[in-house]
Amino acid sequence: MIYITGDTHRDFSRLFNLENHEEDMLIILGDVGINYCLNEEDKKLKEYLKQFKFKLFCVRGNHEERPKNIKSYKEQEMFGGKVFIEDDYPNLIFAKDGETYNIGGKRVLVIGGAYSIDKKYRLLYGSSWFPDEQLSKEEQEEILKKIKGQHFDVVLTHTCPLKYEPKEAFIKGISQSKFDKSMEKFLDKVEENIDYDKWYCGHYHTEKKIDKLEFMFGRIKEFLKDEFAPKYNSDGYEIVRDFCRQEDVHKNNKVCCPKCKKTNIIIQKGDGERIYGLDEIAIICNDCKKVYGFSDVQYKPGCPKEL
């Protein structure tokens, strides 16, 4: 099985929702976080990730070093294209920017990189920032020349074409005029010069669809299927995400199933540290044998949904 998700930022708790099979693979759409500290902390994290048998196929984000700049990475052939892998961690695979792969029988184009809107903060306080986080003009021109006029079943990028920017996800009070949007403008040109069936991206910490493009963040889906993973909880109950609002189950001082209206239910709570206000994320109905997720949980900025 092939899965796909958005930015992980060194938080891999969502991986425990997947079955641990060697033949499976999870695509991460950038800002993975395993080449972030460039010291023993990265090594500890990579050792931790060895417990997962499935492969992690990583698009390069802006908050991580390019694998080609790290001596331990070697370029090798995989999925019909060039990838970067370390000998000690063969399940952690980084795609090469502008490369084409055969993944799940589909022709897939991968382009990583983006601008860090917190660049000044990172430089001021000594946090990691990578000068070549974006593709250079020369790299952009080379990629565009190589792919122009071609058809791709899927495009995987970290950021998105400028025309699709999710303005509702922008940080309030910060002028967008201060940010370098050359990567987004470049991806506009990519979209104009190729034919494609599906486009996935991350970066914006939001989940939405616009035309053939889908933004992903904290939740996992089956690749090229509109189905979240996992489909069932540990009791075998089907998970129905975004089914209703919190207030739909709190009516007349009586908590009940939003579907069958019975009270043989359990309230599922989330991580209260990530949520503003009521930290209930779902109702588990023992009569329906389903988990009904709430669509209006108020997650704090940068916190992915838990269900």
CA distances to 62, 81, 127, 161 from 203, rounded to whole Å, are 9, 24, 18, 12
- pLDDT per residue as tens digits for the range 28-55: 999 999 999 999 999 999 999 999 999 9
Contact present, 255 and 248 (Cβ < 8 Å): no
pLDDT at 249: 87
Of 1-10, 62-71, 198-207, 255-264, the one with minimum mean pLDDT is 255-264
Top CATH class, 2-228: alpha beta
Q: Strand 280-285 and strand 275-276: pairing? A: unpaired
CA distances to 91, 92, 182 from 47, rounded to whole Å, are 11, 11, 36
Provide φ and ψ at 85, rounded to 5°: -140, 145
Q: How confident is the model at residue 220 (pLDDT cuts 50, 70, 90)?
A: very high
Beta-ladder partners of 4: 27, 221
Mean pLDDT of the chain: 95
Is the pLDDT assigned to residue 179 strictly greater than 90?
Answer: no
Q: Provide the residue ranges of all domains of the chain, joining segments of one domain with +.
A: 2-228, 238-299
Which residue reads 């997947």 in tokens?
Answer: 18
| Cα 32 from Cα 142, distance rounded (Å) | 25
pLDDT at 173: 66
Compute the average pLDDT of residues 85-112: 98
